[in-house]
Structure 1
Amino acid sequence: MIRLLDFLAAFFGLLFLWPLLLAVTIIGLFDTGSPIFVQERVGRNKKPFKLIKFRTMSIETTSVASHLANNASITKWGGFLRKTKIDELPQLINVLKGEMSLVGPRPNLFNQEELINEREVFGVYDVLPGITGLAQVQNIDMSTPQLLAQIDKKMIDSLTLKNYFKYILMTVTGSGAGDAVK
């Protein structure tokens, strides 16, 4: 049921939001010269996939977890995209492809070994990663690997249709501050 909801939401989201996605892409060309950001992340069963986002940092920024990145790397346009969470919209392509869900644990990088170990203990990689989830609406980021893995497990174990829509609604209405860049 969740996969069907994910597919339909991603399909219709992309269908109706394409003018916004196009406008953000064009503005991003002027901002960084490369508006789309693609990064290998850890997916379900620890399989790699290419996460797609709008670029919010300068091209020269080192590929690290957001909490390890520097605020100075975020462009003015990128700050707006992060604040409004518009930078996450291209992930609807990942959802459409079945690599992600709308709701699930945020996918981490392969170099976040401590988080990978904690998530393996809790079986977090048994499910699709998501665009949003319980940790995101509670402002828990990847800087606290053990806590994040515990909250991810709590979300996985209690994910109902009601909670699925609750996390999406909370995200759309502004719960969660987004990536914690230092």
Structure 2
Amino acid sequence: MPDRRAAALVDALGKRVVSNGVVVELSSGVSKGIDEETEAAAKRLRNGRLWYRFVKRVFDICFSLAVLIGLSWLFVIIAVAIKLDDSDGPVIFRQTRVGRDGREFTMYKFRSMCADAENRLAVLAASNEKDGPVFKMANDPRVTRVGRVLRKVSLDELPQFMNVLKGDISVVGPRPALPKEVARYTPRQRQRLSVKQGITCYWQTRRNRDSITFDEWVDLDLLYVKQCGFWADLKLIVQTVGCVLTAQGE
């Protein structure tokens, strides 16, 4: 069982975080002000902590290479399955996302939706089940049959290790958002962009991640900015593996 002192855990009400023995109340409404503690932590990371940044980058390179080479056979199987299920679109879905400090980059994923998914989004906007600037829908009709399986076990995320290798994102860090979502951020929400974005972070490993509000999501990302370090990253990776093996994807 993961160490509760080092990992952030949302309680049954989804309103509190236990971290390093400290209870932190999550936001219940829209918070616009700058979090000074997060700002200070981001500044320390940017101007110092050289050893942590060096080891984190070395780990990102080694880990992503291991995944890309070791699972190359799985990439081929997934590619064939996607084409057999829906031959109209590409195997790899490319989308512009926003990284650290607002820098845009192209993120890669295995395509899990129909080829015209982006065009159909406007029709589904009223069915959004998430507050804030993000779109989430439990039974999104745009998701293909193979796509549902890939999402359930998070295999659609595998190509993002190419982004890790390129340095666009890290293995651990807040999830990169869409430009149109970032355009609607409050100053506080923009603070989640103060560190390199990643494949997994605190909210991604929560069992109730689909039910927490966007402000609570941001709270967890800002908590990572304050706590990021060797042990926090390692424990999040272990927790993420557990989520994948138990098919907790959406």
TM-score norm. by structure 2 comes to: 0.65
| Larger CA Rg, structure 1 vs 2 | 2
Which of 116, 126, 132 in structure 2 is aligned with 1:60? Answer: 116
Identify the residue that residue 169 of structure 2 maps to in structure 1: 100
The amino acid of 2:192's aligned partner reads: V
Which of 130, 133, 142 in structure 1 is aligned with 2:201? Answer: 133
The amino acid of 1:36's aligned partner reads: I
Q: How many residues align?
A: 177
Kindly report the root-mean-square deviation, in angstroms, between the aligned alpha carbons of the 2 structures: 2.3
* 2:159 is aligned with 1:90: yes
Identify the residue that residue 100 of structure 2 maps to in structure 1: 44
Give the superposition deviation at 1:84.
0.8
Cα pair 1:101 1:130 within 8 Å, conserved: yes
* Distance change >3 Å, CA 157–CA 98, structure 1 → 2: same
- Structure 2, unpaired ranges of 5+: 1-54, 122-133
The amino acid of 1:119's aligned partner reads: Q
Identify the residue that residue 239 of structure 2 maps to in structure 1: 170
Identity of aligned residues (%): 32
Identify the residue that residue 22 of structure 1 maps to in structure 2: 76
Identify the residue that residue 147 of structure 2 maps to in structure 1: 78
* Distance change >3 Å, CA 132–CA 142, structure 1 → 2: farther
Cα pair 1:41 1:50 within 8 Å, conserved: yes
Structure 2 counterpart SS, 1:57: coil
- Structure 1, unpaired ranges of 5+: none
The amino acid of 1:3's aligned partner reads: R
Identify the residue that residue 130 of structure 2 maps to in structure 1: none
TM-score norm. by structure 1 comes to: 0.87
| Counterparts of 2:228 and 2:84, CA distance in 1 | 41
* 2:91 is aligned with 1:12: no
